[in-house]
Amino acid sequence: MPADILLLSTLLPAQERALEERFTVHRPAANGEKAAFQRDVAPRIRGVVTGGSTGIGNDLVAQLPALEIVAINGVGFDKVDLDLARARGYRVTNTPDVLTDDVADLAVALMLMLSRRLVSADRFVRAGRWLNGEFPLATRASGRRYGILGLGRIGRAIAARLEGFGGEIAYCTRTPVSDVPYAYHATVTELAAASDVLIVAANASPSTRHIVDTAVLDALGPTGALVNIARGSLVDEHALIDALIEGRIAGAGLDVFEAEPKVPQALINLSNVVLAPHVGSATAETRGAMGDLVLANLDAHFAGKPLPTPVV
């Protein structure tokens, strides 16, 4: 009998069809059906497919006594309680590597859009304002000082791309990395002070919550810019808004937010901010590869084989 799977976030249509061919798939219950779900479906659920920004709450886990695996369609696992997974004995997987290039590409794209003021330039042309004068000068991207917070797979891919811009690259991690030529800084504040552009690419965890705070932003300074393609929780959003409004940093390129999809109106109102709706991995190619890896982890688990990409 096929295992019962709870699908909390969407996959590409082809992968959802493949999931339904392999398993009995259930979707979250509507308000009026929750009682029936808890009584009839929840006790049978052996696997959960969820997104990195969705995760699974402990209250839902408590309703799933037969849970064996949580397969995350994403690289981040900060929305899944790993300690609870270890205690309960269910596995957690994610989809690393396959989204690295797309997320790194977006980080560089946000940097370029911000430095060259491309969003404002687009609006300038569309509004017919070019007929009345030249667009204001922007800031060059080449030859600048780039600081990367977190030098994992994505951080390294960002650094490799930035090498082509002929700038200085530095990074901050818990401990120095031995196989890179970049300058190391022990604290984020030190990294920010040595950077023109600070790019956030670290994992989200309780220890990294609001690691980019007022002190870091002040160290970045009035000509510095922030790019965040990691998780919104790493940046103190209120401190960032204040720094942008007061001109204590020059701008920000953001793909992630603390309470997404809710974006503070103050950020929306600012012209020195480039906003994206958490689309770091949002290409057809990468989402397809991510979905395939979700299926591969589920297939391996229920066949009693080693998981391709286990977290716990």
Q: How far is CA 310 from CA 51, 87, 301, 306, 307, in A?
A: 15, 16, 10, 9, 6
Q: Check the CA dihedral 71-73-76-81 and report its sign.
A: negative
Where b means 16+ CB within 10 Å and e means fewer, 284-302 reads eebbebbbbbbbbbbebbb
Of 204, 206, 208, the C-alpha closest to 188 is 208
The conformation of residue 200, written as its DSSP 8-state character, comes to E
Find the distance separating the first CA and the last CA of the chain, reported in whole Å.
26
Let me know if 260 is a catalytic residue.
yes
- Catalytic residue, chosen from 231, 237, 258, 301, is 231
3-state secondary structure of 245: helix
- Catalytic residue, chosen from 46, 144, 278, 287, is 278
For residue 254, what are the β-bridge partners?
A: 228, 275
Using CA atoms, how far apart are residues 47 and 35, in angstroms rounded to an integer?
A: 20
Using CA atoms, how far apart are residues 250 and 237, in angstroms rounded to an integer?
A: 15
Let me know if 91 is a catalytic residue.
no
59-280-276-110 Cα dihedral, nearest 10 degrees: 140
Q: Is the separation of the CB atoms in 198 and 220 below 8 Å?
A: yes
Q: Is the separation of the CB atoms in 230 and 201 below 8 Å?
A: yes
Q: Is the separation of the CB atoms in 272 and 280 below 8 Å?
A: no
The residues carrying an active-site annotation are 231, 260, 278
